[in-house]
Chains A and B, each alone.
Chain A
Amino acid sequence: MTQVTMTVNGKAVSGDVEGRTLLSEFLREGLRLTGTHVGCDTSQCGACVVHVNGTAIKSCTALAADLEGAEVVTIEGMANPDGSLSTIQQAFQDHHGLQCGFCTPGMVMSAAALLKENPKPTEHEIREYLEGNICRCTGYHNIVKAIMAASGQDVSAIAAE
């Protein structure tokens, strides 16, 4: 066991971890931040995406011990300070960008990372950026639309509005 210290959603946290403890396990079991989900074991599905030092990574494929001192943001840290939904979260609700909700935390975290890099992405850029996030419910249509809307673009012309 080694002790690891990080900042998670703005709060300093520490805990004892084994060498093999994944960041996703540390978040879910150690900190009880269960919004970060685990949907696969091959680093494909993206349900576990969180931000580490400002970039999106798959928390199921990173060791907690390797992230000593890191700044971590999870889905639990994405709402506005007053608890209301952030622009991206609100756009997902407004445009029905989620159904069962299981992939949603990873989708929101990826969307936030995208908009940070590229504030006005095209539909094609959004679809490419979401390559590592699998959703089985929505067919992606409304996720893409929600992200476009969150970026301030007009989505009224997109089919099925």
Chain B
Amino acid sequence: MYNFEFAKPSTIAEAVEALGQEEAQALGGGQTLLPTMKQRLAAPATLVSLNGISEMIGVCVNDAGEVCIGGATPHATVAREAAAHYPALAALAGRIGDPAVRNRGTIGGSLANNDPSACYPAAVLGSGATIRTNTRDIAADDYFQGMFDTALHDGEIITEVRFPVPDKANYQKFVQPASRFALVGVFVAKYAGGVRVAVTGASSNGVFRWSEAEAALSSDFSKAAVDGLSTPSGDMISDLHGSGDYRAHLVKVMTGRAVAAAG
């Protein structure tokens, strides 16, 4: 990889300042960024590690009952510490990558990168979570703007993600056998106000909400309601691991399974 200046601030304010430099980039767990840099596909002049900012690490529940996860919290910590509060979210975090990756990769890093096959975007969009940055709160529905594209501005840091806790939820991941990312992942969450269904891995536009399924499940939260739907249309990814038709089919199957598993 190309060389760079390395900075490791200990507060959000310092991090924001460091990221204000020319061609500075934030480093979360680095589980995607560092391999990308090894290929010389990214060349920041300064890399600003967010791993030393203790105020950005940890899981808690706020007064509104939301599960709040610091932006630099590793997946393994979420899997462990969110389990009592939001089991579906914890289970999702516990199946990202592999154990060593989960000990290093962070929620903020995953969301900032917005890989179209990553798991966290499904949980965030499926929960209608709020992405809090150093400057503002962004609703999940506004945050994801296509493959590797988000509402974040340059230098903006995800400091926390707040998840409203649903009555029921489940994530079904169909694993791509090489990368262990999601070939298709479906997060289903049932809230008092309705059901949200978020799909990752399938669309070339990144994570999306499957509105037909949401409508059907909001009136009848059962696998049978999913069975009655036609498969989602749209720009499905087609690659050597599965055709677009296959992915569309899996979206339906995984949605049905998520509903069944959510109980």
Contact = CB atoms under 8 A, between A and B. Distances in A.
Q: Do chains A and B touch in the complex (CB under 8 A)?
A: yes
A58 B101 contact: yes
Interface stretch (A62-70, A74-82, A137-145): A62-70
B3 A57 contact: no
Nearest to A22: B34
Contacts of B97: 132
Interface residues on B, range: 20 to 34
Interface stretch (B4-12, B121-129, B203-211, B231-239): B4-12
Interface string A60-104: 011101101000000000000000000000000000000000000
Contacts of A43: 31, 34-35, 101
B30 A63 contact: yes
A106 to B, nearest CB: 9
A22 B104 CA distance: 14
B100 A56 contact: yes
Nearest to B39: A41
Contacts of B100: 46, 49, 56-58, 110, 113, 132
Nearest to B45: A19
Contacts of A58: 31, 100-101, 104
B103 A57 contact: yes
A156 interface: no
B9 to A, nearest CB: 12
A144 B143 CA distance: 42
A41 B73 CA distance: 24
A113 B97 CA distance: 16
B170 interface: no
A123 interface: no
Given A19-B4, A55-B76, A62 B99 contact: no
B101 A132 contact: yes
A61 B74 CA distance: 14
Name the residue among B2, B100, B179 with the largest chain A CB count within 10 angstroms: B100
Contact of A61 (B76, B99, B104): B104
Given A46-B100, A129-B99, A61 B31 contact: yes
Interface string B41-61: 000000101010000000000
B98 interface: yes
A61 B34 contact: yes
Given A42-B35, A133-B98, 8 more contacts: A2-B6, A19-B6, A20-B37, A56-B100, A63-B6, A63-B27, A66-B6, A66-B27
Interface of B: 1-6, 8, 27, 30-31, 34-35, 37-39, 47, 49, 51, 76, 97-101, 103-104, 178-180
16 contacts: A19-B6, A19-B47, A20-B37, A57-B104, A58-B31, A61-B31, A62-B30, A63-B49, A65-B49, A66-B8, A114-B99, A131-B98, A131-B99, A132-B100, A132-B101, A132-B180
Interface of A: 2, 18-20, 22, 41-44, 46, 49, 52, 55-58, 61-63, 65-66, 68, 110, 113-114, 129, 131-133
